[in-house]
Amino acid sequence: MLRKAIVDLVEGGRMAREALGGGGSARVLASMLGPAWRGLVAGRARTAPATAIPVAGDATFDWRYARSFPELARLYEAAKSSQWNAVTDLDWAQPVDPDDPARPLLPEDFLPFASLPAFRRASPAERRDQIRSHLAWTLSQFLHGEQGALHAAAQVTEAVPWLDAKLYGSTQVVDEGRHVEVFHAYLTRKLEKLYRIDDNLYVVVDALMTDARWDVKFLGMQILVEGLALGAFGMIRRITAEPLLRDVLRYVITDEARHVHFGVLALERHCRELSERERRDREEWAFEVALLLRSRFLAHEFYDEYYGHALRRAEWDRVILASGMMALFRETMFRRIVPNLRRIGLLSDRIRPRYARAGLLAYEHERAAPDLSAEDLL
């Protein structure tokens, strides 16, 4: 009954039932039932302009100040030398014109709903308006995810046991604050539109913030959420012709590559020290969150605004999930995530069949932990 309850609560769960049928951990699903209820049923993100999420966990102080993690010490030095200023390093004076055919925000054939008759019948001006709004919805979710990363990075910095990790973590807190600043500025000053947080993303953020274990916060944010963002940012940067957005994403991608690398280095060491039961629990947790993230980009707020009158939500979901853009997105996202799960030891033979049934195992032998330059994403 618990498994059915959580699957029915999570939007997009009907697409995940086959993957969830493999006998996963009831304990993991129970831990996510509260966030799913608060996000999907109670609508915490929809009913108030701000949400208080209770958090728990220990803050670990190292009175020896031992520098015992040389890989993270090098990452800290790289982070210090790579800081940038969103105000002075980006040219905010350049205009962003959604109607400029020479600099389209996104190509029409990239849109997951481009095949819908209602979109094809729309005038060129109406289609450009939908492109602007869909990009605003997508970047709004990144903005909300960056705020979640800001809070999670602060929590992990106080809880992680190694001083080198605390020092690097302090730079990530600065990075995440800058990402919140720059995405909010682009949305409000250039696209002039901001959407609320998607319910599926809220469930992930709630689950991360309310879990007392620092390594689970780390796993969810550094490996899963940041890994998703890294792939998505690279994909959008490759297809947009809008210069300011390309510049924004170039800076953010460089930061995110360090963040994912941080997660891989820290968890690779930490997971070797876990008991078998602890490791299995984190494997299950990562898989369930990966499925939530896969259902995150159904854009129901955009659907309500533009297509709620034209087709049922179930049909909208079917069109979006079957689109070439979503196939490319899933490939880009999990090409980043699955190899890193394998490297840190959370892709055992026990869990691999479930990733295979979800169509995600094909990426396990891709390169893990992108290099610090992130040149392959730019």
> Where do the H-state alpha helices sit in 97-242?
117-121, 124-159, 163-185, 199-210, 214-218, 226-239
Total domains in the chain come to 1
Question: Residue 49: which CATH number?
Answer: 1.10.620.20
- CA-to-CA distance for 110 and 251, rounded, in angstroms? 23
Using an 8 Å Cβ cutoff, are 257 and 377 in contact? yes
- CA-to-CA distance for 256 and 263, rounded, in angstroms? 11
Cα 194 from chain centroid (whole Å): 18
Of 133, 123, 127, the residue nearest 108 (C-alpha): 127
Using an 8 Å Cβ cutoff, are 137 and 302 in contact? yes
How distant, in Å, are the alpha carbons of 115, 118, 304 from that of 130? 14, 12, 12
Domain that holds residue 76: 2-377
pLDDT of residue 332: 78
pLDDT of residue 50: 82
- CA-to-CA distance for 301 and 319, rounded, in angstroms? 16
- CA-to-CA distance for 31 and 11, rounded, in angstroms? 17
Of 115, 104, 99, the residue nearest 307 (C-alpha): 115
Q: C-alpha angle with apex 232: 84 to 347, nearest 5 degrees?
A: 110
**Burial bucket for residue 129 (CB in 10 Å: 0-12, 13-18, 19+):** middle
> Where do the H-state alpha helices sit in the chain?
2-9, 13-20, 26-36, 70-81, 117-121, 124-159, 163-185, 199-210, 214-218, 226-239, 243-271, 276-294, 300-306, 313-322, 324-344, 352-357
Using an 8 Å Cβ cutoff, are 230 and 343 in contact? no
pLDDT of residue 80: 96
- CA-to-CA distance for 355 and 335, rounded, in angstroms? 13
Cα 160 from chain centroid (whole Å): 21
- CA-to-CA distance for 299 and 365, rounded, in angstroms? 31
pLDDT of residue 376: 52
Q: C-alpha angle with apex 375: 234 to 229, nearest 5 degrees?
A: 30
pLDDT in tens, the chain (378 residues): 445 555 555 544 443 443 344 445 667 767 777 887 887 777 777 777 888 887 878 888 888 989 999 999 999 999 999 999 999 999 999 999 999 988 999 999 889 999 999 999 999 999 999 999 999 999 999 999 999 999 999 999 999 999 999 999 999 999 999 999 999 999 999 999 999 998 888 888 898 888 889 999 999 999 999 988 888 899 999 999 999 999 999 999 999 999 999 999 999 999 999 999 999 999 999 998 888 777 667 899 999 999 999 999 999 999 998 898 888 877 777 888 899 999 999 999 999 999 998 878 888 888 876 544 445 555
